[in-house]
A and B are shown apart, each in its own frame.
Chain A
Amino acid sequence: MEKFTVHTGRAVPLRYSNVDTDQIIPAVYLKRVSRTGFEDGLFAAWRANDPEFVLNQPQYKDGTVLIAGSDFGTGSSREHAVWALQDHGFKAVVAPRFADIFRGNSLKGGLLTVVLPQQVIERLWDMVEADPATEVTVDLQEREVRAPGVSEPFELDDYTRWRLLAGLDDIALTLRETEAIDDYETRRKSWLPVTQ
């Protein structure tokens, strides 16, 4: 996984709440067995049907920070939603609240999801819509989002922050604890089912 320390880039204002993962990437795009190449599925229906949709506007095409409404990433657990956002070039998503599974997936894959209060999100939306060249900085080191006139701290637990800063693979970390897992297995209830 790539390390995440500080990212500065243009932002994309997505003024919708409850953006579910079926919107982020519809099911028909989930059939690939690779881990890349999901960019064409990103917001496919909105990009195809709505000329006003924010990603159809040329001034936002180079955006790398998505500023979204509350409950972003609800619904299906498809990690393809994270991959599609990353394949498009997004490095961070900022919203008032995220769905649990999407948030977990994003932080596993190095797409930084940042929770900020609704009023800060609205200020960022206004600012970016007034000047699409506005740059937004997401600073994981300092746990802070910065834009002209905005300097807003955000919360992220120390462990996840450390893992993202170091770009560490969760599986490799857990495999260091194999002894604890072996030990746990000796204590499991004897009636628990097996599949084979």
Chain B
Amino acid sequence: MARTMAEKVWEEHVARRAEGEPDLLYIDLHLVHEVTSPQAFEGLRLAGRPVRRPDLTLATEDHNVPTENILGPIADKVSRTQIETLRKNASDFGVRLFPMGDLDQGIVHVVGPQLGLTQPGMTIVCGDSHTSTHGAFGALAFGIGTSQVEHVLATQTLPMTPFKTMAVTVNGTLKPGVTSKDIILAVIAKIGTGGGQGYVIEYRGEAIRALSMEARMTVCNMSIEAGARAGMIAPDETTFSYIKGRPHAPEGAQWDAAVRHWRSLRTDDDAEFDMEVVLDAEELSPFVTWGTNPGQGAPLNDAVPDPASFEDPAARAAAEKALEYMDLTPGTPLREVGVETVFLGSCTNGRIEDLRAAAEIIRGRRVADGVRMLVVPGSMRVKEQANAEGLGEVFTEAGAEWREAGCSMCLGMNPDQLKPGERSASTSNRNFEGRQGKGGRTHLVSPLVAAATAVRGTLSSPDDL
């Protein structure tokens, strides 16, 4: 029977199947960070259970990490305790950990791919909803809660019922200045924050095939913002050349066998998806959000929408509430919305290619007066690479702050937060109320829009410079 890629990867990982019960799915890689794991390790301790496969488990410190003075003790005592708890748990249970100060430390979803641990056809989980990022390699990767973290630690499996499948096809070629971030923001605006609920999305089509691995990761990363737990892209030459030579990539005959298998994972030509969505890349332009969920977005060329224009009463009420929180007036051109902060980073857009794209715009220009720009690399390796290419200097010379690696202002668990009422253009993934700091107002943007906005002080694209 013809099958989709998601179905193939699922079938390959069923360790046990019984009528009337969820499938028991084997997990190839379990990524761990300090926020969603302490209660899971404590559960193991109370039950006297070991970690079944420490060798398929990897921990890194990211959410609480201060991006200044990363080697000093964390000032916030509660954050410090959470980090120290992870260190103790990793040591007690034999899990490899990349602590602050380690060259391999960084955001969990940047670290996995850069080490070559993320490979096609794998099942990958983490107590973090943006685990969908790894689907860019053709892995089935999804976020889990802490109870499931404990379950995977104890058994290396998860009882799961299969996802439905959705194809999002993006035809045509992106115009210059339009990025993968704009694709995914447009997808979310089209299907809504709940549109992907219950599905795994496979992104397909000419515009997706043309994306680099890093750009594909941005797309898959935000699948969860459309409600889909996982997003996938079929592995191809772009995928293979990204993985080849990385520290954990297969070598020699193993590499050849792996690639042969990876090629077989693509969705069969006559396979059927439960739902299909089609977009035309030529029609896309830089996209920004105006509201308080990632589905409340519009092309930068547009104006702040009038809630009365929404037919659905729930959507209208949500828009009214969002505009009040965002302090925006319907009809205001989005280009006239001024920001105080620009955040470039996160598991969505904190990779080397994102920094290169933004640096290209910033180079030789200045961050506008009254605007602070934080540039936070997704990992210490990304920082090292960026410095080697001179990008760090480009940012600091323009007046931006060039920080250490972590989740930072994406969710403000560390000191990088917006003040009440402060407005940001952010390359992260969520514009929820208070996400970047209590009372903060977030506009989600691509790295190109972030850079142009930093220079002009209002939401802008590179074409405006």
Taking Cβ atoms with an 8 Å cutoff, the residues of A that contact B are: 15-18, 20, 22-23, 26-28, 30-35, 45, 49, 69-71, 74-80, 82, 97-101, 104-105, 108-109, 157-159, 170-171, 173-175, 177-178, 180-181, 183-185, 188-196
In the complex, are the beta carbons of A31 and B79 less than 8 A apart? yes
Known contacts A33-B38, A191-B258, A195-B58; A70 and B314 CB within 8 A of each other: yes
With A and B bound together, what is the CA distance between A71 and B258 in angstroms? 39
Distance in angstroms between the alpha carbons of A59 and B436 in the assembled complex: 32
Q: Which residue of chain A has its CB nearest to the CB of B15?
A: A184
Chain B residues with CB below 8 A from A71, complex form = 193-194, 197, 227
In whole angstroms, how far apart are the Cα atoms of A190 and B252 in the complex?
13
A170 to B148, CA, bound (A): 9
Q: Which residue of A lies closest to B229 (CB)?
A: A100
Which one of A22, A32, A101 lies within 8 Å of B143 (CB-CB)?
Answer: A101
CA distance A18 to B320 in the complex (A): 13
Which of A27, A33, A74, A178 is in CB contact (< 8 Å) with B412?
A27
Top 4 A-B pairs, shortest CB-CB distance: A105-B145, A33-B38, A184-B15, A79-B145
| 26 pairs, A vs B, C-beta closer than 8 Å | A18-B193, A18-B194, A20-B293, A27-B411, A27-B412, A30-B413, A31-B82, A31-B413, A32-B82, A71-B194, A74-B193, A79-B36, A79-B127, A99-B194, A100-B197, A104-B145, A105-B145, A170-B151, A174-B159, A181-B52, A181-B157, A184-B15, A184-B16, A184-B26, A188-B28, A191-B255
Neighbouring A residues of B63 by C-beta, 8 Å: 27
A28 to B35, CA, bound (A): 11
Give the chain B neighbours of A74 by CB distance below 8 A: 193-194, 227, 293
- Give me 19 other A-B pairs in contact (C-beta within 8 A), A171-B49, A185-B26 excluded: A17-B315, A18-B193, A31-B79, A33-B38, A33-B42, A45-B433, A45-B438, A69-B314, A71-B197, A71-B227, A78-B35, A79-B146, A101-B143, A104-B148, A105-B145, A105-B146, A181-B52, A193-B117, A196-B54
Q: CB distance B116 to A193 under 8 Å?
A: yes
- Which of these, B145, B321, B412, contacts A108 with CB under 8 Å? B145
Taking CB atoms, residues of chain B closer than 8 Å to A192 are: 28, 119, 122
Q: Which residues 307-332 in B have Cβ within 8 Å of A in the complex?
A: 314-315, 317-318, 321
- The CA of A17 and the CA of B317, in the complex, are separated in Å by 9
Residues of B with C-beta under 8 A to A98: 197
Docked complex: B150-165 residues within 8 A CB-CB of A: 150-151, 154-157, 159, 161
Q: Contacts A22-B433, A181-B15: A171 and B145 contacting too (C-beta < 8 A)? A: no
Contact yes or no, B430 A22, CB < 8 A: yes
Q: Is A99 in contact with B15, judged by CB distance below 8 angstroms?
A: no
CA gap between A191 and B261 in the complex, in Å: 11
Q: How far is the CA of A77 from the CA of B108 in the complex (A)?
A: 14
Chain A residues within 8 Å of B117, by CB = 193, 195
CA distance A84 to B69 in the complex (A): 33
B: contact size bracket: 35 or more
Determine the chain A residues whose CB is within 8 A of the CB of B433 once the complex forms: 22-23, 45
* B268-318, CB < 8 A from A: 293, 314-315, 317-318
B221-243 Cβ-contact flags toward A at 8 Å (1 or 0): 00011010100000000000000
Docked-complex contact A189 and B197, CB < 8 angstroms: no
A20 to B63, CA, bound (A): 18
Docked CA distance A74–B430 (Å): 11
Given contacts A69-B314, A101-B229, contact A177 B16 (CB under 8 A): yes
Complex CA–CA separation, A180 to B224 (angstroms): 31
Query: Nearest-CB distance from A72 to chain B (Å)?
Result: 10
Contact call A31/B432, Cβ cutoff below 8 A: no
Residue of A nearest to B31 (CB): A195
Determine the chain B residues whose CB is within 8 A of the CB of A157 once the complex forms.
161
User: How far apart sit A20 and B321, CA to CA, in the bound complex (Å)?
Assistant: 14
Contact B412 A28 (CB under 8 A): yes
List the B side residues contacting A23 at CB < 8 Å: 432-434
Q: Which of B63, B76, B151 has the most CB of A within 10 A?
A: B151
- Which residues of A have CB within 8 Å of B157? 174, 181
Chain A CB within 8 A of B209 CB: no
| CB atoms of A180 and B24 under 8 A apart | yes
- Is B338's CB within 8 Å of the partner chain A? no
Interface assignment of B257: CB less than 8 Å from any CB of chain A? yes
Chain A neighbourhood of B172, CB < 8 A: none
Q: What residues of chain B lie closer than 8 Å to A49, measured between beta carbons?
A: 439
Given contacts A33-B82, A75-B129, A171-B151, contact A193 B119 (CB under 8 A): yes
Given the known inter-chain contacts A17-B317, A27-B411, A171-B150, please indicate yes or no for A181 contacting B26, CB distance below 8 A. Answer: yes
* Residue from B64, B117, B411 having most chain A Cβ neighbours under 10 A: B411
Instruction: Please tell me which one of the listed residues B36, B156, B224 contacts residue A181 in the complex, with CB atoms under 8 A apart.
Output: B156
| Residues of chain B in range 67-93 having any CB-CB distance to chain A below 8 Å | 76, 78-79, 81-82, 85
Contacts of A30 in B (CB 8 A): 35, 413
A45, B24: Cα distance in complex, Å: 39
Beta-carbon contacts of B6-31 to A below 8 Å, as 1s and 0s?
Answer: 00000000011000111010101100
- Cβ of B198 within 8 Å of any chain A Cβ, yes or no, is yes
Q: Give Cα A170 to B433, complex, Å.
A: 34
Within 354-395 of B, Cβ neighbours of A (below 8 Å) are at none
> Least Cβ distance of A7 to chain B in Å?
20
Residues of chain B contacted by A189 (CB below 8 angstroms): 121, 257-258, 261
Decide: B194 and A97 in contact? CB cutoff 8 A.
yes
Is A27 touching B194 in the complex (CB atoms < 8 A)?
Answer: no
Residue of A nearest to B41 (CB): A33
**Measured between C-beta atoms, what is the minimum distance from B16 to chain A in Å?**
4
